[in-house]
């Protein structure tokens, strides 16, 4: 009975040491979490300041004199409406699959011609119209 009591006493002592070690470890972790939260708050404040600075630096009223001063050196020119395409210039999507092109591809594969070499593809039907650049 004496050995049982001594064993229980040693087990209790070891458990006590482990509980205190766990307590101090949890306190260290809470200090680290608080430090990280402070760092996040600081970075959020810094980001907010940087966004405000960026908004100020990108104001059109501030940028226009800079653009005018350096337009010749940077070869800048205003955009003209002729530089844009019209909606009518966009080709319409085909109503069905390109069966002529598929047939030409299959014929070239049967003939043993490499499809990547466009000059050797057999012609099956009318060629599609050229697109404007």
Q: What is the pLDDT of residue 79?
A: 84
Closest CA to 126 of 99, 107, 100: 100
- 117 domain-assigned: no
Residue 29, CB-side half-sphere exposure with 13 Å CA sphere: 6
- 46 domain-assigned: yes
Of residues 101 and 62, more confidently modeled: 62
Q: Please state the domain count of the chain.
A: 1
- 106 domain-assigned: no
For residues 122 and 107, the answer to whether their CB atoms sit within 8 Å is yes
pTM of the model as a whole: 0.44
User: Which pair of structure tokens corresponds to residue 1?
Assistant: 């009975």
- 63 domain-assigned: yes
Angle at 37 between CA 35 and CA 43, to 5 degrees: 105
Q: What is the pLDDT of residue 42?
A: 97
- 132 domain-assigned: no
pLDDT digits (tens, 9 = 90+) for 29-77: 999 999 999 999 999 999 999 999 999 999 999 999 998 899 889 888 8
The parent domain of residue 38 ranges over: 1-80
- 3 domain-assigned: yes
The residue count of the chain comes to 133
- 109 domain-assigned: no
- 66 domain-assigned: yes
């Amino acid at each position: 009975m004496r050995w049982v009591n001594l064993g229980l006493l040693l087990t209790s002592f070891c458990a006590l040491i482990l509980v205190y070690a766990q307590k101090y470890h949890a306190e260290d972790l809470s200090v680290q979490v608080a430090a990280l939260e402070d760092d996040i708050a600081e970075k959020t404040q810094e980001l907010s300041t940087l966004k405000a600075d960026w908004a100020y630096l990108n104001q059109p009223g501030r940028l226009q004199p800079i653009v005018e001063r350096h337009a010749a050196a940077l070869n800048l020119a205003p955009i003209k409406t002729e530089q844009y395409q019209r909606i009518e210039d966009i080709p319409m999507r085909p109503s069905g699959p390109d069966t002529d092109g598929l047939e030409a591809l299959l014929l070239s594969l049967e003939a043993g011609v490499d499809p990547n070499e466009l000059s050797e593809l057999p012609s099956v039907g009318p060629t599609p119209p050229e697109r404007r650049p």
